[in-house]
Structure 1
Amino acid sequence: MALEATLTSIWDYDVAANRVQLDGNWSRMLGGPPGETVTPIRELLARVHPDDRRRATKASFDCIAGRTAEYSQEYRFRDQQGEWLWVHSRGRVTGHDEQGRASRMIGTNIDVTQRKATELAASRQLEFLQALNQTTLELMERRSRAAILEALAGHAAPLLEATQVEVALVEGDELVTHAYGGARPTRGGQRAGRREAALSWQAIDAREPVIRHGLIAGAEPAPQYRQAGFQAIALFPILHGPRCLGVLGFMREADQCFNAEDRQKGVLLAQLAALAIHNASVYEDAIQVTEAKTAALRESEQLYRSLVESVSQGNYIADRRSIFTYCNPAMYVLGDFAPGELVGQSSFRLVAEEDRPQVMAKYRQWINDPSIRHVTCEFRVVAKHGRQFWVEQNTDFVRDANGRVLEGRNMLRDISERKEAEAALRRSEAQLRQAQKMESLGTLAGGIAHDFNNILTGILGFTQLSLADLEPGHAAVPWLEGVMKSGERAKGLVQQILTFSRKTESSRSPVRLQSVAHESLDLLRSTLPAMVRLESHLDPGCAAVLADPTEIHQVILNLCTNAWHALPEAGGTIQVTLAEYAVDLAFAADHQPLQPGPHLRLAVEDNGAGMEAETLERIFEPFFTTKEAGKGTGLGLAVVHSVVHAHGGAIRVHSTPGRGTLFEIFLPTLPPAEAPAPAGAPADLPGGRGERVLVVDDEPDSGTVITRLIEKLGYQATYCGEPFQALALLYTNPFDMLVTDLAMPGLPGDELARQALVRRPELPVLLLSGFIEPGKQAKLRQIGVREILDKPPALAELAGALHRCLNGQVTKPAAPH
C-alpha cells in the first residue's frame, strides 16, 4: 500500500541472465495494467532518454563491478503513451557468484516526474522574479531616459530568450526606436510609419500584445522582420494609464513559439518599461522643479508598488531589528493574516518554535558580516491559526557605506510539496533497506534449513528405527514418541521460517483451525512470561476452511506476540476465540472481499495500551512500527494482512487507548462434503520385495538412517557417501532404484541423476534434500526425477514415494498459492 501511494516500484536484476523483474507498480507507473513483468535489460535501456542512457548504464556497470557501493540515478524513461517521465532509480548488489562477481541487484524505481516539473517551474519563476527585481533596481538608479531604455533592452533579451529586443516610442504619427538589446547590436534612431510598422501599430491601437510565428513563410505585413531573418516576434504595448507610450518588441531567429509564460513575462516587462519611462520623464522634468511632476513621481512609485504586490510570492521588508516595515498582500495571504497585521511586529514570530533559535543565530551572523549581500535559507513557518508549512526565504540586505544593515528585502516561497517529496524519498530508501534485510534473511533461512533438516533426519530417523525395534509396551516408547513429536515441531518451525522469508511457496488444503490454534497456543504458552495470562475459547464444532496451516499458525503467533508487547510490564490477559460467524450482505459490503455466508471468526484481544486513530490507520503498512529501534521490523501485521486477504478473508480492528485492542479475522468455511476426514487407524505401509536401492548422501548420519529405513520397508539398500563412486556403482551393478541427496560437494544430486539417466533412462530416481528452492522442483522433474521429498521424511512418506517410483507412478506437486 505504501509503495502504491508513493509511486514506487521494486526491481530485481539478474545480472547473469540480463533480465530485470519488476513488480506490478512499474506497469502502473508506465500507464499500463498492474502486473509483474520480466524484461531484458537491453529493452529497458532502449526506453531511457538518449541523453541519460550512457550515464545511467555506466552507473549500473560501476555498481556491478564494485567501483561504487550503491547505484543511484535520475533519468527520463518513455512510458506506454510515448511520454517521458522522470525516474529515480536506486539499488545495491545483493548476490555474487562463486567467482565473486555480482550476480544480482535489488532496488527501487520512484516516479519523480511531478517533483522535477515542480522544481523546474519554481526555479524558472524564481530566476525571472530575481532578474526582474534586479532590473527594477538598476532602472531606478538611472535618471536619463536614454540610459533607462538601454538598460531595459539589455536586460529584457535574456529574460525572454530573444535574439533581439527593441524599444520604440510613439512620436506623433511615427514610431522611433530608441534602444536595442540582445545578440544583434544596432543603433537607435530608426523611424517607421503605420505602413512600415503595421504589427507594432496594431498592438498600440488594440492595447494588446501581438505575437506572430513563422514569419519567413507567412504573409504577415512584417517585411522588416523577414528581411532581418526573424521567424517569431512578440510586440507588447507600453501602457501608462490611458496613454500608450510605445512598443517593447522581442524577436527570435529560430521558429520557437512565444508561449503563455513568455506572454506573461512580456506584459510585466512592458509595465516595468512604462514605469521606468514615466519615471525618467518625471526625473527630467523635476530638474525644472515642477510640483506637478513631483506628484506624478508619487503616482509612479505607487504603480511600482502595485506591480510588486501583484506577485504571488510573499514579499516583505524588515529593518535591522527584523521588524516588519512593509508586507505585500501575498505575504498576508500566505500566513492567514489580516492586511496590516504584521507591520510593526518581529518577523521571527512567524518562524516555528523548533527552528527559531537556528534562524536567529544565522541572522546575527549575516548582519554582522559586511560582505554578505544575499542569503537563502529554509525553515518552517507557523500561520496565524497554527498551520505549519516549509518556506524558502531569499533576502537582499541593504547596507550603508560602512556595511551596516539598514533593512532586508525578503521573498518567501512555499516549498511544502518539495519537502513532502523528499520525505517520501527517505521513506522509500528505508523500505529498500528493509527489503534487502529480508533478502538476507531468506538466504540465511535456506542455509539453516538445509543443515538443520539434515540433523533432524538423523534424529527422527534413528528414533523411528528404535520404535520399530521395540515392543509396543516397552517403557522407552513414550519417551521416543516425545522425541518424534519434538522433532516434528522443529521440522515445522523450519518450514515456518522458510515460508516467512518467501523461500517456499504455500499450498492450501481443507483444515480445521481448532487444531492449528491449539498447536500455536501451546507453543506460545512455553514462551510467554508468567505474568501474561493466555485464555482460549475454541469451538470444537467449527467447520473447516481452505488454508495453509503454516501461514495461519504464523498469523496467530504474530497477533498474540503483538498483544503481548502491548501489555504493561506488570502483565495482562490475552484472549483467543474461535467460533462460527454468519456474514450478511451489509457486513460483506463493508469488509471486502468477504461474500455473504458462513465464516469462522478468529479473535485475539488484549487489555494493553491500545492505539490512537492515527496509528490504527497505518498498522498494516509494510515496515511501519511503533516499537523502538531493534525490537521490530514493521512486518508482523503486514504479513497478517497479506495472508488473510490471500485466503479470501478480512480483518477488523477495534482499539481504545488505555483499554486494549481486538483483532478479528473472518475466513470463509468449506461445505461439509469438502471437510477433512477424521484421522483413522494408520494404514499398512507399502513395502518392497527385495528390490536393490542405492542410497547416496554425503552426510553419514543422514545417509545411514535413510538406508536403514528403506531396509525396514523390505528393500535391499546400499549406502554410498561419495557421489562419483555412486555413479560407478550404478554403471556396474543392477540397482533397481536411486535415492540421492541434492546438495553434495563435487557432484550435486541433480547432476548425479542426470548422468545416471543418460546411461539408464528407465531408472527410478527419488531425490531428498534439506532445502529445495521452489523454482528448482520443475527442473528436477524435467531431467527425470520421479519423486522429491523434504528431509527429514516421515516413514509413511518414504514408503509411498519408493512404491510410486518403482511402479511408474509420479506425484504431481501441489499447486502453490
Structure 2
Amino acid sequence: MKNTAAKTLWTMPSPDPEILGRIILIQSTLHLMGKGAEMARFLCRGFSRVPGMEISGIFIDGRLHWENGLPGPEQQHCRRLFEQLTGGAGQGAGRKTLLNGFKNSHGVQCLPIETALAVYGIFFCAPADEEMFFSYVPYIENTMNLAALVLENHSQQQMLWQHKSDLEKKVKERTQALARSEQRFRDLFNSISDLVYTQDLEGRLISANPALNRLFGYRAEELLGRPISDFMLPEHRERFKSEYLKAIFEKGSYEGITPYLAKDGSTIYIEYRSELVRPENDTPFISGIGRDVTGRVLARREKRRLEGQIRQAQKMESIGTLSGGVAHDFNNVLSIIIGNAELAAAELAENHQARRYVNEIQTAGVRAKDVVRQLLTFSRKTREEKQAVDLCMLVGEALKLLRPVIAANIEIRTRLPEQPAVVLADPTQIHQVLINLCGNAADAMARSGGVLTVGLAAAQLNDENAALDPDMEAGRFFQLAVKDTGHGIAAKSLERIFDPYFTTKDVDKGTGLGLSVVHGIVKSHGGSIRVRSQPGQGCEFEILLPAAEKNADAVSVQAGDVPRGQGRILLIDDEPMIVSLNQQRLEKLGYRVSGHTNPKAALEMFSSHPYRFELVITDMTMPGITGDRLAEKILEIRPEMKIILCTGYNSQISDQTAASLGIARYLEKPVQMQQLAEAVCDVLSVSGN
C-alpha cells in the first residue's frame, strides 16, 4: 500500500454525481438494515465502487467484514485497533494519535462508527488513488455517523425490548406467584375450621369464611352486609355498640365470648378477637377470628350444674342423716307427750273443761308425728305407702297447719265438694304437695298480700284428652287447684319450673327442689300437673289424680274399745319416762309389768327366770345392746318367746327385718294407747295367753 500525504480540499477532484447519489441512497436505506453483520455487508458492497478505494472492510460485532481481501496480519492489526479504541487508550487526545498512527503504519484509513455513547465498529479502507479517494471521505464519514446512529438505535431498541421482556417475565412470574398466593390464602380461608371475618366500621360483615356460614346456617349472601348484632341474643344487642365497637375504636381490639342465634334458632357461643386495621391508602376495617366454643360453654355449665347437684345431694344426705337422729329423739318426746295426754284424758270426765285441752294436745302430737314422717319421706328414709284417702280431709289439715305461718294479709279460700274425694295415695306425700304449693303461693303474695284459693272438683278424662299426656289414661280424676294473686312467673321460667334445682327465689329462700319433688310425687301417683301464669297476674297449679275405685273407703281413725288382758310383760327402754308411761298404760289394761331402763340387767333377769314372762316389749336403740340383738339373745334362751320391738327411728330395722328375726310385732313410736293395747292383745292371743 502507498503511504501518501493528505491533499487539501481545493486540490481534490470533484466527486462523481453518480457515486454521490449511490452514497445518498446508502444513507437513506441504512435504517432498514438489521443487525451489525447485515449492515457491514451492505456498507462494504456499497463503498466498494467508490473511485480511488482499493480495499474496504468493517469491524462490527467482533468480526471483520471485507469486500476485498486483506492479509491476515493486517486483520489482526485492525482488531487490535478496535480494542484500543473501545479501551482506555481511545479516550481524549490519544484517540486522534492512535488513528493517525495506525494510518501511517499500515496505510489504512480508519473511520470509527461511533456515537457519544459507544464505539460500534471501524470502517477500514485502503485508497488506491488518494486524490480521488479523499474527495469522498466526508461523505463516507457522514455515512458512518449515520450507521452509528442506526446501530445505536438498534442497540437501544434491543435493550428496550430485552428490558420489556424481562419486565413482562417478572410481571408474569409475580402475577402467577400472587395468584398462587391468593389461591393458597383462599384455600386456607375456605378450609380453616376457625371463623374468619371482616367488618366495616358499623359492624357490618364484609367477608366471612365458609366455616362461619356453616355454623350460623346461612348462605354467604344472607350474612354479608348485615351487622353481626342482628344474630345476637336480644339482651346482648345493646352492648354491641356500647362495648364492642367502642373498644375497637378506643383500644384497637376487643375479645370475648358472646352467644348468637343460628338460623335454626339454636344458641351458639363464639370466642373471638377483633382488631381495627388501618391501611395506608385505604378505608379502615375490622378484622377478626373466632371459634365455636358452644360445647365448652355448655360443658362448663353442665359441670357447674352437676357440682351444684352433688353439693345439694350432700346436703340432702346430711339432712337425711340428721333427720334420722331427730326423728328418733323427737318420736320419743312425742311418745311421752301423747301418752301422758291419753292418761290425763282417761282421768277426766267426758264433760270436764280440761278434757278439750288434753284432746288438742293429743291431736297436735299426732300431727307432729306426721311432720316427722314427712321429714323422713323427704330425705327418703321411709317407704311410700298408698291407701285410700280423702283429699278434702288432707286439704283441710294442710291449710290448718299453714294458717299460722302464712302472712295475715293473705286470705285463704277453699272450694271443696261435699262428698269425699277419695284417691289411692300416700297421705304424707299428698300433704307435702299441698304444703309446698300453698307455701310457694304465700311467698308470692308475702309483700302485697292477696288471695290463696284451693279448689277440688271431680273431672272426667276422655281418650282424646288423655292422648295429650302419654303417662295418663282415660278415666275418673279429681282436679286439685292451687291459685294465688301474686306477681306471677315469667314465660322463660315456666319452661323450667319443674327442673331440679331451678328456682326464682333468692339463694337463702329456696333450693329449687320443691316443685321438682311435687312433680315427681304427682307422676308417681299416676297423675299430671300443669301451671298457668303471666307476670303480674298470679299463678295457678292444676293437679289431676286418679279417683279410687268406688268401693274404696278412705282410711279414718276411729276410736274403739281398748282391748284389755292379762299376763306378765317385761318392758325395756332406756328412757325412764317412756318406761313409766307404758308401765302405767299396760297396768291400766290389766297386765303385770316389770319395767327396766338397763337392757343388760333385764337380759340377766330374763336368763334367770325365762318363764316368768309371757311377752317382752323392748326399744330398738339403747346403750350397751340394741333391741334386735337383745331379741336374738332372748329367743336363744326361749325360742317361743313373744317380743314386740318399738323404735323412734332406726334405718337398720323394718317390718320385714324384725319378722325375719322372729320378732312378733314391730311398732314405730310414738305408740298410742289404742295401738299398744291392740298389739299386745293380738300377740298374746296368738300365743294362747
Q: Are 1:705 and 2:581 counterparts?
A: yes
**CA, structure 1 residues 611+344, in 2 after alignment: closer, same or farther (shift >3 Å)?**
closer
Q: Are 1:721 and 2:597 counterparts?
A: yes
Mapped contact 2:569–2:615 kept (Cα < 8 A)? yes
Mapped contact 1:576–1:603 kept (Cα < 8 A)? yes
Mapped contact 2:202–2:227 kept (Cα < 8 A)? no
Q: Are 1:307 and 2:184 counterparts?
A: no
Amino acid at match of 1:495: R
**CA, structure 1 residues 519+641, in 2 after alignment: closer, same or farther (shift >3 Å)?**
same
What is the CA distance between 1:596 and its match in structure 2? 2.1
Q: Distance in 2 between matches of 1:624 and 1:475?
A: 51
Q: Distance in 2 between matches of 1:785 and 1:659?
A: 58
What is the CA distance between 1:395 and its match in structure 2? 8.8
Candidates 463, 478, 484, aligned match of 2:341: 463
Candidates 616, 619, 634, aligned match of 1:756: 634
Amino acid at match of 1:506: E
Q: Distance in 2 between matches of 1:546 and 1:361?
A: 65
Q: Which is worse superposed, 413-422 or 625-634?
A: 413-422
Q: Are 1:492 and 2:370 counterparts?
A: yes
Q: Are 1:683 and 2:564 counterparts?
A: no
Q: Distance in 2 between matches of 1:648 and 1:666?
A: 9
Q: Distance in 2 between matches of 1:307 and 1:437?
A: 56
Structure 1 equivalent of residue 383 of structure 2:
505
TM-score by length of 1: 0.56
Cα root mean square deviation, aligned: 3.9
Mapped contact 1:393–1:412 kept (Cα < 8 A)? yes
Structure 1 equivalent of residue 178 of structure 2:
298
Q: Distance in 2 between matches of 1:755 and 1:286?
A: 115
Q: Are 1:539 and 2:417 counterparts?
A: yes
Candidates 638, 651, 664, aligned match of 1:786: 664
What is the CA distance between 1:721 and its match in structure 2? 0.7
**CA, structure 1 residues 449+286, in 2 after alignment: closer, same or farther (shift >3 Å)?**
farther
Structure 2 equivalent of residue 390 of structure 1:
269
Structure 1 equivalent of residue 615 of structure 2:
737
What is the CA distance between 1:774 and its match in structure 2? 7.1
Q: Distance in 2 between matches of 1:340 and 1:785?
A: 79
Mapped contact 2:413–2:452 kept (Cα < 8 A)? yes
Amino acid at match of 1:304: R
What is the CA distance between 1:548 and its match in structure 2? 1.3
Q: Distance in 1 between matches of 2:542 and 2:200?
A: 62
Q: Distance in 2 between matches of 1:355 and 1:343?
A: 16
Structure 2 equivalent of residue 696 of structure 1:
572
Mapped contact 2:262–2:268 kept (Cα < 8 A)? no
What is the CA distance between 1:561 and its match in structure 2? 0.9
Structure 2 equivalent of residue 446 of structure 1:
324
Q: Distance in 1 between matches of 2:493 and 2:554?
A: 40
Mapped contact 2:215–2:262 kept (Cα < 8 A)? no
Aligned ranges for residues 85-484 of structure 1 at < 5 Å? 289-311=169-191, 312-316=193-197, 328=209, 330=211, 378-380=256-258, 389-393=268-272, 411-484=289-362
Mapped contact 1:337–1:384 kept (Cα < 8 A)? no
1:131-170 per-position Cα deviation (integer Å, ceiling 9, x unaligned): xxxxxxxxxxxxxxxxxxxxxxxxxxxxxxxxxxxxxxxx
Mapped contact 1:355–1:380 kept (Cα < 8 A)? no
What is the CA distance between 1:771 and its match in structure 2? 1.0
Mapped contact 2:249–2:276 kept (Cα < 8 A)? no
**CA, structure 1 residues 597+740, in 2 after alignment: closer, same or farther (shift >3 Å)?**
same
What is the CA distance between 1:807 and its match in structure 2? 2.7
Structure 1 equivalent of residue 132 of structure 2:
none
Mapped contact 2:644–2:665 kept (Cα < 8 A)? yes
1:635-686 per-position Cα deviation (integer Å, ceiling 9, x unaligned): 1111211111111111132222221222111112223322237776x43222
Equivalent residue pairs, number: 512
Amino acid at match of 1:391: I
1:241-296 per-position Cα deviation (integer Å, ceiling 9, x unaligned): xxxxxxxxxxxxxxxxxxxxxxxxxxxxxxxxxxxxxxxxxxxx979954433332
Mapped contact 1:327–1:342 kept (Cα < 8 A)? yes
Structure 2 equivalent of residue 577 of structure 1:
455
Give the structure with the higher percent strand.
1
What is the CA distance between 1:340 and its match in structure 2? 12
Structure 2 equivalent of residue 795 of structure 1:
673
Candidates 577, 583, 605, aligned match of 2:483: 605
1:427-470 per-position Cα deviation (integer Å, ceiling 9, x unaligned): 12111111111111111111111111111111111121222233
What is the CA distance between 1:739 and its match in structure 2? 0.7
Mapped contact 1:610–1:655 kept (Cα < 8 A)? yes
Mapped contact 2:387–2:555 kept (Cα < 8 A)? no
What is the CA distance between 1:728 and its match in structure 2? 0.8
Mapped contact 1:592–1:650 kept (Cα < 8 A)? no
What is the CA distance between 1:320 and its match in structure 2? 14
1:509-562 per-position Cα deviation (integer Å, ceiling 9, x unaligned): 111111111111111222211100000111121342111111111111111111
Structure 1 equivalent of residue 508 of structure 2:
630
Q: Which is worse superposed, 303-312 or 634-643?
A: 303-312
Long gaps (5+) in structure 2: 1-164, 279-283
**CA, structure 1 residues 653+286, in 2 after alignment: closer, same or farther (shift >3 Å)?**
farther
Structure 2 equivalent of residue 373 of structure 1:
none
Mapped contact 2:197–2:209 kept (Cα < 8 A)? yes
**CA, structure 1 residues 497+286, in 2 after alignment: closer, same or farther (shift >3 Å)?**
farther
Structure 1 equivalent of residue 45 of structure 2:
none
Structure 1 equivalent of residue 80 of structure 2:
none
Q: Distance in 2 between matches of 1:805 and 1:363?
A: 87
Long gaps (5+) in structure 1: 1-284, 369-375, 400-405, 811-817
Q: Distance in 2 between matches of 1:579 and 1:407?
A: 68
**CA, structure 1 residues 324+530, in 2 after alignment: closer, same or farther (shift >3 Å)?**
closer
What is the CA distance between 1:614 and its match in structure 2? 1.9
1:604-656 per-position Cα deviation (integer Å, ceiling 9, x unaligned): 11122222322222111111111011101111111211111111111132222
**CA, structure 1 residues 777+357, in 2 after alignment: closer, same or farther (shift >3 Å)?**
farther
Q: Are 1:562 and 2:440 counterparts?
A: yes
Amino acid at match of 2:532: H
1:73-105 per-position Cα deviation (integer Å, ceiling 9, x unaligned): xxxxxxxxxxxxxxxxxxxxxxxxxxxxxxxxx
Mapped contact 1:545–1:667 kept (Cα < 8 A)? yes
User: Which of structures 1 and 2 has the larger relative contact order (alpha carbons within 8 angstroms, sep 6+)?
Assistant: 2
Mapped contact 1:503–1:774 kept (Cα < 8 A)? no
Give the structure with the higher percent helix.
2
Residue aligned with 1:740, SS: strand
Structure 2 equivalent of residue 201 of structure 1:
none
The percentage of aligned residue pairs carrying the same residue is: 35
What is the CA distance between 1:323 and its match in structure 2? 11
**CA, structure 1 residues 634+719, in 2 after alignment: closer, same or farther (shift >3 Å)?**
same
